[in-house]
Structure 1
Amino acid sequence: MNETIETILKHRSIRQFKNEPLREEQIRTIVSSAQAASTSSYIQAYTIIGVKDPEKKKKLSELAGNQSYVEANGHFFVFCADLYRHERIGEWEETNVIPSLESTEKFMVAVIDASLAAQNASIAAESMGLGICYIGGIRNDLESVSELLGLPERVIPLFGLAVGYPEGISDVKPRLPMEAVYHEDSYQSDETTMKADLDRYDETISSYYHARTAGKRSDRWTVQMAKMLSGDKRMYMKEFVEKKGFNKR
């Protein structure tokens, strides 16, 4: 096993950072690593906003549900799906690109491109001894986030990435068993097998929480998922995405 794989397998979310900003060299390395990620048809349909302004970070923390580590970190990145520059390219090249930009396909391309870039950035940061935490909470109010960051039409903030020097290291959280996520040749939909895999995983997660919290918590993953998925959350998203000029066709 090489160092890269070891770094990937040791991933854990860090939610407490030292009061030490990243150096410009580190920021540039992380962004360069993000840009090295694969991109569909070379379209590079994303933009990364680095947020340094303390007031903006504080506001983003509030919008994300008062998550303190959105404000207190070494650097905060916001990854955006971005087709704005491509619309401008269409104008400059006198080519009608609007139907393509409004397609579900290009919406997916932009989201996937941004996600691939972000994961490259995360691995780069962790390989440098830094910790990271993805922040989906900025999607609580994308209208306000877009206004705060001055995002034009055809640019959607997807998630944040808090990066910094870890104040403490948490345990690696167990993932689903490989058999549950890796199927060969066809999807394995046998419910008996699936239920057995998830039952074993529930035992693993329950033990993990019990040990981590000294017995104060021992909930099962399937219970977590059922509870989380039973409620409506961010149901404004379709309207917002279409308003931004994405996913109309």
Structure 2
Amino acid sequence: MNIDNYFKTRRTVRRYSSREVEPQLLKEMLEEASHAPTTGNMQLYSVIVTRSEEGKRALAPLHFNQPSATGCSVLLTFCIDYNRFVKWCEASDAVPGYDNFQSFMTGALDTCIFAQQFNTIAEMHGLGCCYLGTTTYTAPEIAKVLNLPKRVIPLVTLTVGYPEGDAPLSDRIPVEGIIHEEAYHDYSVEDIRDIYAEKEAREDSRKFIEENGKTTLAQVFTDVRYPRENNERFSKIYYDFIRENFLME
């Protein structure tokens, strides 16, 4: 495998064939992913594997019925998990102090790194994956479906399966718009226009603008895809869930 080519041409896969991901292969890939970097070697995460059609149908509405949630072979819910670590501390005459924001962020980083390492491993095995960005929107309902105890917080979900057909290559802004040498150098209006010019010129971007009755691509993001009212509503749902089940205020 050409590693450079793999990363430059990787695709998010949302359509899957009927071929199942073998349980042993999935277990091996998750074991490999568990060797990803982790804070203090604590491994503050768990993953819930949903294979059954019944289980996927129960979770699908909580992911806004995205087709890949039921069309995939396996649905993986990656969770911040302090339940296991705290119980180990308490069983070992140690007093845990992890019901705070710093610990939450530590668990979130561990979980994201674990999930992304799995994503890469799965793709290198010929599988396709898609992150569902809805996990934090409906975390309380997901926790009920998956029977999650306190201190276990759903963070990200991946759909996994063998690709059906070709997936489109996602656009990305030029790397020059991301890199800052030595210190952060803020962007001028001209810089911003240069960075986003190619994205805005894409045919699919122009289609998004037209379909949504907007005049710029940025308006599609601010007014349609991620408007303030939705951000604030889902923020409150997730924060209240974290406060009740993790921060224990």
Q: Check whether TM > 0.5.
A: yes
1:124, distance to aligned residue in structure 2 (A):
0.8
Instruction: Determine if the alignment matches structure 1 residue 226 to structure 2 residue 229.
Output: no
How many residues are aligned here?
Answer: 242
Q: For structure 1, which segment, 16-25 or 134-143, has the greater mean C-alpha deviation from structure 2 after superposition?
A: 134-143
Structure 1 residue ranges, 4+ long, deviating more than 6 angstroms after superposition: 215-219
Q: Deviations over 1:51-95 (max 9, x none)?
A: 112211111111110112111212111100110011102211222
Letter in 2 for 1:17: Y
TM-score (norm 2): 0.88
Q: For structure 1, which segment, 228-237 or 84-93, has the greater mean C-alpha deviation from structure 2 after superposition?
A: 228-237
1:129, distance to aligned residue in structure 2 (A):
1.2
Contact 1:14 1:132 in 2 (8 A): yes
Letter in 1 for 2:133: G
Find the counterpart in structure 2 of residue 76 from structure 1: 75
Shift in CA distance, 199/85, structure 1 to aligned 2, threshold 3 Å: closer
Q: CA RMSD in A?
A: 2.4
Q: Percent identity?
A: 23
Find the counterpart in structure 1 of residue 13 from structure 2: 14
What secondary structure, in the 3-state scheme, does the structure 1 residue paired with 2:115 have?
helix
Q: For structure 1, which segment, 218-227 or 44-53, has the greater mean C-alpha deviation from structure 2 after superposition?
A: 218-227
Between the aligned partners of 2:7 and 2:32, the Cα distance in structure 1 is 15
Instruction: Determine if the alignment matches structure 1 residue 36 to structure 2 residue 49.
Output: no
Q: Deviations over 1:1-21 (max 9, x none)?
A: x62332222222211111121
1:220, distance to aligned residue in structure 2 (A):
5.2
1:36, distance to aligned residue in structure 2 (A):
1.5
TM-score (norm 1): 0.88
Q: Show structure 2 runs of 5+ residues with no match.
A: none
What secondary structure, in the 3-state scheme, does the structure 1 residue paired with 2:120 have?
helix
Between the aligned partners of 2:216 and 2:166, the Cα distance in structure 1 is 23
Shift in CA distance, 247/208, structure 1 to aligned 2, threshold 3 Å: farther
Shift in CA distance, 194/124, structure 1 to aligned 2, threshold 3 Å: same
Contact 2:173 2:199 in 1 (8 A): no
Contact 1:8 1:123 in 2 (8 A): no
1:221, distance to aligned residue in structure 2 (A):
4.3
1:193, distance to aligned residue in structure 2 (A):
4.6
